[in-house]
Each structure stands twice: as C-alpha cells, then as structure tokens.
Structure 1
Amino acid sequence: MRLSLHTDYALRLLMFLAVKQQQASIDEIAKAYGISRNHLMKVGQRLTELGYVTARRGRGGGLTLSHSPESINVGALVRQVESTRAFVECFDPETNQCRVTGGCGLQAALSLALGDFMVRLDKYSLADLVPVPKKFLDRLSAVSLYPVSGAINDDG
C-alpha cells in the first residue's frame, strides 16, 4: 500500500505542528521538509476544513493544531484524507471496467488487507508519531538549510 503525497504531507504537517507547539507558517514547514509550498498549502487548507488545524491569515498568520496530538487518531485522519475508493479499479462500482469482477478473489483480499491496515493505524495518535520531539526537530534542522526552532517538551 502506498499513501498519496497529499496524505504524506498531511501527516508531516501535523507532526511538525505537534512538536513545534506554536503557530507555524506554510513556508516554514515547506522549507523544513524541503517540499512543495504550493502542495502543502492545499494540504493545510484541507486539514483546516477537516478541523485538524486552525489557520490565521495575513501577516503573522500561520497554522496551529486544533486538538492535542494525543487526541488526533492517525487512522481517522488517513480515512478522511486518503481516497481508498479507487485503491484498485474494482473498488469503485461507478468506474469499474474489470472483466473478472465477481470471478476473482482480489477485491476481497485487498479489502481485508486495507481494513487491517486502517485498524493498525487506529492504534496510533499523532503524539505516537513524534515520540521524541527534540530528536524530530534536530533531524529536520540537520537536513535542511533552514533551522527549525520552537517549543518542545522536556521529554525529548
């Protein structure tokens, strides 16, 4: 299974905000990860619509988490952001053109595997994805040309 770039960026954006523990701009997050600002803007907008982040516009604006990292369930997030309807052609009855639908076991096997994948993700919170916040920020600073600073817990 491969998650879309949109879901990957959504997880990264939320992880950044979780360790930063304060407002961060799209530019700051994009530079820290070395990823597309434009794509990240779309992700930020979607996460705002879903209620995961709060956005402040204008000068001095940015994004903050709307909920504690411990209360954000990774499985629920992935279900909301990732489209699994078209995981394979036969998953979408409206566009399915597969000639063997109903005559093979692929759809059932993949449906079960996808369900198992999501159940596993349900066991994780956003906080679990960044168990050592200081190490996370240090790694971002080490690989980017843009130093990342911000509040972190004494845990890490």
Structure 2
Amino acid sequence: MRLTSFTDYGLRMLMRMAGAPDRAHSTAEMADEFGLSRNHLSKIMQRLSAAGVVETRRGGGGGARLAKPASDIPLGALIKLLEEDQPMVECFSTGNACTLDGSCGLKARLRVAETAFLESLDRSTLADIALRQSQSI
C-alpha cells in the first residue's frame, strides 16, 4: 500500500509532537523543520484537530498539542483518518466508474488486505514511533 504525502507529513507532525508532548508546536515551525509548505501542513493540522487527535490554540504561546497520550493513539487509526479521502482503488470510492465492479473478485480481496494492514498498524501506537529531540525525520 502506498500512502499519500498528506499522510506522510501528518505522521511526521504527530511524531514530532509525541516526542515533546509538553510543548505547543506551531505549523510554521514544523514547516521550516521539514522543508514543507506551511499551507499544506495547516490543512493536515485542521483534519487532525477536527478528529480530536490534536488540540490547537491561537496566539502567543499557541500551537498544537496531542489531545491524549501518544500511547492511546493507534497508528492504524491515524492512517485511516489521514487517508480517508484516498481510496486504495477506484472501486472503493462512491460513484466509481469501474466497468468490472460487481463481477470482479479483486475488490473483496483488496478490502481484506486493507483491513489487515490497518489492524497490523493498530498493534502499535504513536508513542512507539515518537521522535525524541535528538532524532530527526
């Protein structure tokens, strides 16, 4: 399975926040650190905030923090959240235009594989991959 850059960057942001959970992290700061677009990271942060994974605060001393301990955040759930608008194959999307839909035996097997992939990742948490201050991405 190939993950989108949206998910890749979201995981990097969360790994950084999990490695220093006592401080607020600004999107601008992480954009500079990762060499990425602040606008792109802001969109990711909005999704994470809307889902209750992070809490954000504006203004001086503001930024983002994990909404709960990293040990309580399964990786599979994060990937499912970040990939929610990106189905693995077209036939997983609503209103798909696949001419084989309904007679194809691949769709069910891919759904089983996708479920197994996410369940496997759910056996690990964000705490397991947290970046400590001395580590880099």
Alignment of 1:3-152 (within 5 A): 3-21=3-21, 22-83=23-84, 86-92=87-93, 94-130=94-130, 133-136=132-135, 139-140=136-137
Alignment size in residue pairs: 136
One-letter identity of the residue aligned with 1:133: R
Q: How much has 1:42 moved relative to structure 2?
A: 1.0
Asked whether the 8 Å contact 2:24–2:61 carries over to 1, the reply is: no
RMSD after superposition: 1.8
Asked whether the 8 Å contact 2:20–2:133 carries over to 1, the reply is: no
Question: What is the TM-score when the length of structure 1 is the normalising length?
Answer: 0.78
Q: How much has 1:80 moved relative to structure 2?
A: 2.1
Question: What is the TM-score when the length of structure 2 is the normalising length?
Answer: 0.88
Residues 12-52 of structure 1 deviation map (CA, whole Å, 9 limit, x = unaligned): 11111111221111111111111111100111111111111
Asked whether the 8 Å contact 1:85–1:91 carries over to 2, the reply is: no
Structure 2: any 5+ residue segments left out of the alignment? Answer: none
Between the aligned residues of both structures, percent identity stands at: 42
Asked whether the 8 Å contact 1:89–1:95 carries over to 2, the reply is: no
Whole-angstrom distance in 2 between the partners of 1:115 and 1:103? 21
Q: Which has the larger radius of gyration?
A: 1
Q: 1:85 to 1:55 in 2, by over 3 A?
A: closer
Q: 1:18 to 1:79 in 2, by over 3 A?
A: same
Asked whether the 8 Å contact 1:26–1:62 carries over to 2, the reply is: yes
One-letter identity of the residue aligned with 1:27: A
